[in-house]
Structure 1
Amino acid sequence: MSSSAAGRWLSAASSPRAASGSFTAAGRCADGDVNGGGEQVRQQAGGHQRRLLLKEEALSSASTIGYFNSAQAMIDYAAVIIYVKKKLSAENSPVIVIGASYGGMLASWFQLKYPHIATGALASSAPILYFDDITPQDGYYSTVEKDFREASESCYETIRKSWSEIDRVAFEANGLSTLSKRFKTCNNLNNSVELKDYLSLTYTGAAQYNRPPNFQVTMVCRSIDGASEGTDILGRIYAGIVSYRGNRSCYNTTSSLTEISVGWKWQVNFIPSISSGQLPSINYGPKTKIVNEA
């Protein structure tokens, strides 16, 4: 939640219009300004007896990080909603919980678990059927693959062939250095999977957020297909990166650990469900090789 969103949400508690009905946002998957709103939240909650745990406290020990899970998130939402309704003398006001992606999962589960608190839920792009083998584990990546094939078969084929080409170059003498230069990585690649992970995130990001006016999948494929005649496979892939990431002085293929990335990995009830299983050819192909430079 951004600092501005946190302020708007907290300020809503003093709005008389909130008594007629409430909509509660249940979070989202994309990165947000978790830190920026911390001090504002602390100040506005200063009168509460229960102390807020911000990032430096919540992630510092096993005694607190254990609460970082979906069940606890729903318990917290329930407590906040009940408090706000009481504060506004709006106990009879209906509540609709809203969320997208992971937030949509929380919204759906919240309404099922707390029907006496939430009258309804609106969930967008919520993978709530990604459990108990209801959905194939490679379903997410198969959809990404389908998106690229529909945009351009030649683009899809270029991406599919790029994985073996990356491995081929990586196996050469000073191959990882060659790849680092060709893809303008901010740091020298430690292995071939580091580059593949970065490319995979590019393709899945383009597919997941494929929206107007840019339509990111089409934009990436247009650059891959539209590279000048004679451009090899890796050159075309690099053109796709530039179109999606922008023309940068270098591309950071290694993400540093932050409170967001560390905390997200604790959401184990969600992440393994879409990241395990065999990845289709839009990602790593039939087999994944880790090539380290000697």
Structure 2
Amino acid sequence: MRILLLLLSILLEVDCLRVLRDPVTLSFSNQRNRDFKNQFSISDSPYQWSTEWLANVPVDHFAFANNDTFKLRYFINTKSYEEGGPIFFYTGNEGALEGFALNTGFMWDIAPEFKAAVVFAEHRYYGETWPYPKSLSYNDTRYLGYLSSEQALADFALLIDHLKQNRIPGAANSPVIVFGGSYGGMLSAWMRIKYPHIVHGAIAASAPVFWFFDSGVKEDVYDEIVTRAFVTEGCNFKAIEKAWVGLDNLAQTEEGRAYLNSLFKLEKTRQLQTPGDVNIIKNCVHDVFDTMAMVNYPYESNFMAPLPGWPVAAACKSLSVVAKSDKEAAEGLHAAVNLYYNYTGKAEILCTDPDAALGENNLWPYQVYFR
């Protein structure tokens, strides 16, 4: 256990800034997921909604120096709602709203039983909810500074008031239950704490509400969880260590880099050109390990990517025996990664550039470190 934890700490020692992301945003590292709207089609889903916008949302809810406003996107379904019934409200994460609406089945499944309206609210600066143009938001802190959890919670409170007073008939006294997962779960918990007069209850799944710098929570606590998942499912530390060393060895030569570029099917803009570029693959591998531990469901799923049941166990099949050569070791590691990125066999290339592939994730590192 401690040995594999050491490996995970080694995985962290790469040149590129690594920020732990939420499942939905992390899943867009694949070329096939670049076009979000094509990836998530409401017409193919059992869950249906109408898309609406709340106008005149203040950019700054807490001061008077900025009077700018914007439109906030939300999804709503009142098919099961009966007058006075509850409002199930999803507090949107750091990504476009479609992925959350399509993969939060619990809300949809229990709505008929409770005669509830279902609402998904988009987080400012993600998806299609932008107070300012992206070009300004990415490059100027005067605009980026309004990206914060506090401002997002105030957005949601304003939307709830609109829903109860104007949008949903007979909902003036309806109880509101907020839902969320990961960062969205943190928002749900904080929503209940900060706005108890608006929110009657919160269901916060996998919400690390106390995981802050200098909070007393170990920084590597998530790596411990990932380690436990992979050790339990049969991964061999020596096999992974051999693969890690194999990557470094192959990256030392032009022939070896060409082999890795071909094996991992790296897109042209992110192919290995120097020995240090091997960190492109290492970052990718670490993200895959993190992610598969999150979605290690016992059944096939399509939340972050099409995956078999117990995907960690499936990945460990290629990492259970120590390889005899660097190439064989790299192939075992690739097989584990490819299970996540290309389980369907339809992906032609692997995109490892977060800025290019994770279009909804560009501002997440800023929010994590500064907000």
TM-score by length of 1: 0.73
- The two structures, once aligned, show a CA RMSD in angstroms of 3.2
2:200 aligned partner: 119
Closer/same/farther in 2, CA of residues 269 and 15 from structure 1, 3 Å limit: farther
- Structure with higher strand content: 2
Closer/same/farther in 2, CA of residues 58 and 117 from structure 1, 3 Å limit: farther
Indicate if the aligned counterparts of 1:59 and 1:259 stay in contact, CA closer than 8 A: no
Indicate if the aligned counterparts of 2:92 and 2:180 stay in contact, CA closer than 8 A: yes
3-state SS, counterpart of residue 292 of structure 2: helix
- Name structure 2 gaps, 5 residues minimum: 1-23, 25-39, 43-47, 52-73, 100-127, 300-308
Indicate if the aligned counterparts of 2:355 and 2:362 stay in contact, CA closer than 8 A: no
String of CA shifts for 1:96-127, please: whole Å, max 9, x gaps. 11101111010001111111111111000111
Map 1:33-44 → 2, pairs under 5 A: 33=98
Closer/same/farther in 2, CA of residues 215 and 135 from structure 1, 3 Å limit: same
Worse-matched range after superposition: 2-11 or 97-106: 2-11
Worse-matched range after superposition: 81-90 or 192-201: 81-90
Closer/same/farther in 2, CA of residues 33 and 64 from structure 1, 3 Å limit: farther
3-state SS, counterpart of residue 266 of structure 1: helix
Query: Number of aligned pairs?
Result: 252
Query: Cα offset for 1:160?
Result: 3.0
Map 1:160-199 → 2, pairs under 5 A: 160-187=241-268, 188-190=271-273, 191-199=277-285
2:85 aligned partner: 20
Tell me, in whole angstroms, the C-alpha distance in 1 between the residues paired with 2:96 and 2:234.
Answer: 29
String of CA shifts for 1:176-235, please: whole Å, max 9, x gaps. 223212323222224011010111111111111111211111111123338999872112
Closer/same/farther in 2, CA of residues 30 and 141 from structure 1, 3 Å limit: farther
| Residues 1:97 and 2:178 aligned together | yes
Tell me, in whole angstroms, the C-alpha distance in 1 between the residues paired with 2:163 and 2:76.
Answer: 11
3-state SS, counterpart of residue 177 of structure 2: strand
| Residues 1:139 and 2:221 aligned together | yes
TM-score by length of 2: 0.59
Letter of the aligned partner of 1:149 in structure 2?
Answer: V
| Residues 1:149 and 2:231 aligned together | yes
Question: Which residue among 73, 82, 89 is the counterpart of 2:161?
Answer: 82
3-state SS, counterpart of residue 268 of structure 1: helix
Closer/same/farther in 2, CA of residues 142 and 267 from structure 1, 3 Å limit: same
1:218 aligned partner: 313
1:264 aligned partner: 364
Query: Cα offset for 1:133?
Result: 2.6
Question: Which residue among 320, 327, 339 is the counterpart of 1:243?
Answer: 339
Query: Cα offset for 1:13?
Result: 6.5
